[in-house]
Amino acid sequence: MNNGTLCNCLNAIGGFALFLIIVMVCLYEKGCLVKIHPMNKHKEGQIKVACVGDSITYGSYHLTKRNYPAVLSKMLGAGYCVNNFGFSGRTAMKDGDMPYVKDKNYKNSLAFMPDKVIIMFGTNDSKPYNWKGAEAFKTNLLEIINAYKALPTSPEIYLLAPSPVWGLKGKPVKFDIDAEVIAKQIRTAVKEMCSDYGYNFIDMYSVFDNKPELFQDGVHPNVAGAKLFAETVYAKVK
């Protein structure tokens, strides 16, 4: 094999490898390579807690077992049964690119019959092709909440304003997420809903403001960030 042929082969292999990496990343972002968390079995007398949301709840990358619901479960102890119903890319908007109401996790979370529901949406709703304004966001989020409130357990609702997001090393925020929409519209919308309907408000935006070091990629918390998430929720839920 001459040098020219060898170079062509190496270029072809490199190009194919790059193609596979791009495909894998795209599939991951769409949730195609993400498994649903196994359910913790409820024991008699335990308070059932459902954690609902997107990949920040689910636990991205290496945090699939050290996500904030898993940490919260350990903090709350044996008197609670905490289950993680988050999933990558999901939106509160039912006409978003990946609506939570069409996800199996949504149905599973309702069947769990929780006593407490911890909800955080908005990060993916902020994307320009998903965002239809604050009122539409509140309407869609309220429909999700009302489905839980209609359960026989009539669970207590905890609404989280999404944590801030950052672009790293001078680059834009990843995944088409709009930092300004989260900061100026979604955070306010969630706070207003809690005031209007009496839900428990947890402002993750203020908790993580100016703390980019607690995030892996400017969007998803790292181990220390997940711990702070859990500690903040624990202070309200316990």
- Give the residue extent of every domain in the chain: 1-33, 37-237
pLDDT band at 50 (very low <50, low <70, confident <90, very high): very high
Length of the chain: 238
How high is the pLDDT of residue 1? Answer: 57
pLDDT band at 25 (very low <50, low <70, confident <90, very high): very low
H or E stretch including 55?
helix 55-58
**231 three-class SS:** helix
Mean of pLDDT over the chain: 88
Q: Which amino acid is at 50?
A: A
The pair of structure tokens assigned to 13 is 């292999």
In the predicted model, what is the mean pLDDT of residues 204-229? Answer: 95
Put residue 122 in one of left, alpha, beta given phi > 0 → left and psi -120 to 50 → alpha.
Answer: left
Question: Does residue 188 register a pLDDT over 70?
Answer: yes
**Percentage above 70 pLDDT, the chain:** 83
pLDDT band at 15 (very low <50, low <70, confident <90, very high): low
How high is the pLDDT of residue 38? Answer: 74
Higher pLDDT, 35 or 50: 50
- Token pair 């102890």 in the structure block, residue: 77
How high is the pLDDT of residue 222? Answer: 93
Higher pLDDT, 156 or 31: 156
Question: Does residue 19 register a pLDDT over 60?
Answer: no
In the predicted model, what is the mean pLDDT of residues 99-124? Answer: 98
Report DSSP letters for 158-215, one per residue: EEEEPPP---STTPPPGGG--HHHIIIIIHHHHHHHHHHH-PEEEEHHHHHTT-GGGB
How high is the pLDDT of residue 190? Answer: 98
**CB 235: neighbour CB atoms within 10 A?**
10
C-alpha span between 218 and 216 (Å, rounded): 6
In the predicted model, what is the mean pLDDT of residues 166-178? Answer: 89
C-alpha span between 46 and 36 (Å, rounded): 22
Cα 8 from chain centroid (whole Å): 43
C-alpha span between 100 and 141 (Å, rounded): 10
Question: Does residue 90 register a pLDDT over 90?
Answer: yes
Q: Taking Cα atoms as reference points, which of 66, 173, 185, 85 lies closest to residue 125?
A: 185
pLDDT band at 3 (very low <50, low <70, confident <90, very high): low
| Domain 37-237 of CATH type 3.90.1150.10 | no
Find the distance separating the first CA and the last CA of the chain, reported in whole Å. 69
